[in-house]
Structure 1
């Protein structure tokens, strides 16, 4: 029996400061740019004010990309364009600076942290700081067996919580969340279908590399079979993650919930982070107030999950690569909203403007009188 109950997070998580948000909205009315002229940037600025508990938004100076990595046994069925057990290659590409996420992180000034929760590779292939947290080597094939034991699921969730605490304690002011996985979208779609009460076909997408029709049908069948195993455990989020999630998904869920506890805002990436967020919402209904959806990934499961959480993606650029890329694309937008909210000056008050006009008029009158006196 696990000692961890995710429902306990409901008592630990508070909403962003509503009073500060109202004060920020009032301040926005006084800025030199008319209300509404900055579109959604105004809304983002007010959200940041509430998250920071500061009417004047502080700049985003220490953004951090956190990528949870893992392999999923269901990939053996050919549900992914990538080879089963190949997630370590994705990790290596980020570490070597040759992935889209690595390029964008450099450009936005964000540092990157990769956490191996369940890669199926020799630990010697990757740096110690990446592999030292591994819960297990690969997750089980969710169509026929549990992804994790209950003890492993708890260990993974606590790992995510610990990473969130480390980031908050180190001064991270915004997290860009992503995943590096093979088979992860299949597990994510299963979680979303189970929590939303939908069929496999409704949530089955084609992944970041656009699998063909045969692979899509295999993926759909795997999700259908996994759903049969998920439905009996819907009442317990931890057991659900153990049954059809995976080490990386469980760690991501714990990370998201603890970020909300620590009042650390997070930008979600694709369907995997959306699925973990949905599990988090089931445990603590206030938690999604601390999260932003970075971009539309094209995965139907992501759209379903975000709709359930009332999260509207910031961008829709047709980017499907995953790995935190979509969330990173949204980061400059959030940074821009913070800068505008912090640095735009307020309009002069009506009373101040009137006083200034009177002073100008008096000055003009004195100057005219002096001019007439000189003429005389």
Structure 2
């Protein structure tokens, strides 16, 4: 039975917010728990939007964090389809779009991120898409199926994770795909040139065309429909649809207007939080894509946009709200599925932050482990079509110890032995 002695409010109806609400209840909190989400759908997970649900392998219901009836059983109040438009820290209230004011004793901001927009002519044409929300995936799924039936052509701006996963999904439907990317390889800032080229080869084998070293300068249309795109180097690519996959920006407007401290661009922007996910206001916390946290392991502030950060960050913030000791030091983790390639990546190794890449296994067959090192210490590791190695990879990263690159590259040397 809920009592009204305290009210904890969560702004953000995604995975981080839903897992935070679940954790408040599992940790024994008996006050009111209110989740505010600006989408009408119940909280859902985002990876299927560019993977299983988009490809048609999974049904729509599979994306939801909990079945709708769970929230009533857990006595969690949902305000869906209502954006939070104002945060009054002095009065400790959140105002919704319909004018409703909600009081809080503790507040969690899990407002996520939004897709960056292309600042070029033609973005208002029908057939220009983004992928961030379930509604976007609903549209894209129908569009890809239509392109596949009609031998249609999709241009994707950006060769990051979303761009590549949608390219793989589009080819699965039979659509023609061209990817426009300003950097020399896919995932250049994440994997570096050493392994980014592997994704060029993978997608070309499946019929994807790449155009590197340039950006879109214009989307050309007629009668409101997309006909082609033009790039900064003067080339023109006929197409029927365009996906803007040029990254995401943290949704900080509510927090900024309330005067909370923000992280600088060097650290990914976002709401600045300490290692306990507390903001500059002791009654307000932030988690998920919007939070830039002090990371004890890497000695820097990190804003991580991946699924695991929402999955783990929401519960960590909930425990911190309850006054439990929290140090959020998870090793960043994400995964990707493209065609017959599956991978997991752990760690943090930005371009320019490592001095060596070591691989063990067969890179040509795309069955290998890759490691990014600095001064002999493993900063990040990626397993490609090799499984059940995430724990030892993360242990190597956590250990901070120097390893022998030759032993690291030797498939006959168990990773656990390198920790001995």
TM-score (norm 2): 0.26
TM-score (norm 1): 0.28
Name the structure with the higher strand share.
2
Query: Which structure has the greater CA radius of gyration?
Result: 1
Name the structure with the higher helix share.
1
Name which structure has the greater RCO, CA cutoff 8 Å, separation 6+.
Answer: 1
